[in-house]
């Protein structure tokens, strides 16, 4: 089997944000060994935008001599048809699944413009999500330990173990109220659980990381500092992990995990429910 080329233009096209098309396309492309030159066309809801898109597709085809790939989702039938006539390989990211669900459950789909994440649909859900983000921001990095009764989870760990990005992702993506608290050098020896956390033990969750990785991350931030030294990283991690074990706080190692993977593993281990938006 022959490969056509080692690089290709890829378009993500939707009448909504195109985030679903990007998500699917990105994972699909991850299975093929070529470089993808990606471009997103969101909100293709007018003739003008469609014409603009078709022009770009044609330019890509003429310039490269091969068809670009298009991952799309378009509700308007006329737009779909015009797109399908372009010099491109087009993949509807939802259509085949919608058809199969329809056949399986004997229910007619009601296609709608991609407004699944629209505010107007559900104001309460929207407020919940914004409130989760605000709560999490106000409780980032030990800023405040007030209102812990509202927390869904309290993340503990040394500086640079992944607490802040994980907290924000869990708030944004899953609508959770996350507190995170760093163990810093001063209180690392003879580490004890803060009295504030005592009655919320069931919400505590620890993050740890390999000393080599922590050193690498801290060097990236403050090269050559004591803070970023291997000895310091090992020292802090050993003490914090001992605390987690002593106090029976569940914890995971974030070393080779992305923010999405850390968040998902925390949810899995705690049984916290995701709220999907």
Q: Which of residues 28-47 bind a copy of itself (CB under 8 A)?
A: 28, 30-34, 38, 40, 42-43
Determine the interface stretch with a copy of itself among 56-64, 121-129, 199-207, 232-240 (rule: CB under 8 A): 121-129
Name residue 183's beta-bridge partners: 158
x/- letters, 204..243, toward a copy of itself (CB under 8 A): ------------xx--x-----------------------
- Kindly tell me which of 78 and 134 has the beta carbon lying closer to a copy of itself: 134
CB of 184 to a copy of itself, least distance (A): 17
Residue 144, C-beta contacts closer than 8 angstroms, at least 6 positions apart: 138
Q: Give the position of tokens 């709220």.
A: 275
Is 259 annotated in a binding site? The answer is no
- Nearest-CA neighbor of 55 among 86, 16, 12, 9? 86
**What are the beta bridge partners of residue 10?**
38, 69
120 is in an annotated binding site: no
- Residue 248 lies near a copy of itself (rule: CB under 8 A): no
Quick one: 235 or 275, whose CB is closer to a copy of itself?
A: 275
Is residue 157 annotated as involved in ligand binding?
yes
Tokens found for residue 112: 């709608």
Structure tokens at 234: 């090992």
172 binds a copy of itself (CB under 8 A): yes
Please say whether the beta carbons of 218 and 227 come within 8 A. yes
Q: Is 161 annotated as a binding residue?
A: yes
Alpha-carbon Rg for the chain, nearest whole angstrom, is 24
59 binds a copy of itself (CB under 8 A): no
> CA 119 to CA 44: how far, in whole Å?
19
Q: Roughly what angle, to the nearest 10 degrees, separates helices 211-221 and 230-246?
A: 130
Q: Which of 112, 146, 201, 246 binds a copy of itself (CB under 8 A)?
A: 112
The footprint of a copy of itself on residues 253-272 (CB under 8 A) is 255-261, 263-265, 267-268
**Binding site for ADP, residues?**
157-164
């Amino acid at each position: 089997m022959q490969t056509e080329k080692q690089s290709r233009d890829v378009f993500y096209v939707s009448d909504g944000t195109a985030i679903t098309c990007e998500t699917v396309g990105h994972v699909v492309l991850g299975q093929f060994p070529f470089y993808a030159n990606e471009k997103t066309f969101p909100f293709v809801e007018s003739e003008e935008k469609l014409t603009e898109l078709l022009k770009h597709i044609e330019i890509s085809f003429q310039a490269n001599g091969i068809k670009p790939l298009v991952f799309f989702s378009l509700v308007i039938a006329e737009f779909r048809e015009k797109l399908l006539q372009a010099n491109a390989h087009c993949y509807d990211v939802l259509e085949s699944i919608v058809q199969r669900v329809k056949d399986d459950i004997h229910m007619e789909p009601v296609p709608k413009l991609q407004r699944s994440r629209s505010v107007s649909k559900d104001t309460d859900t929207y407020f919940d999500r914004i409130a989760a983000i605000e709560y999490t921001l106000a409780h980032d990095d030990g800023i405040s330990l007030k209102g812990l009764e509202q927390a869904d989870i309290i993340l503990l760990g040394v500086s640079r173990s992944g607490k802040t990005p994980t907290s924000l992702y869990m708030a944004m993506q899953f609508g959770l109220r996350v507190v995170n608290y760093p163990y810093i050098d001063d209180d690392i020896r003879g580490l004890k659980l803060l009295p504030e956390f005592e009655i919320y033990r069931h919400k505590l969750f620890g993050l740890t990381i390999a000393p080599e990785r922590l050193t690498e991350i801290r060097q990236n931030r403050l090269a050559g500092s004591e803070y970023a030294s291997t000895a310091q990283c090992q020292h802090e991690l050993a003490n914090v992990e001992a605390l987690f074990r002593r106090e029976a706080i569940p914890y995971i190692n974030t070393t080779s995990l992305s923010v999405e993977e850390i968040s998902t593993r925390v949810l899995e281990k705690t049984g916290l429910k995701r709220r999907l938006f």
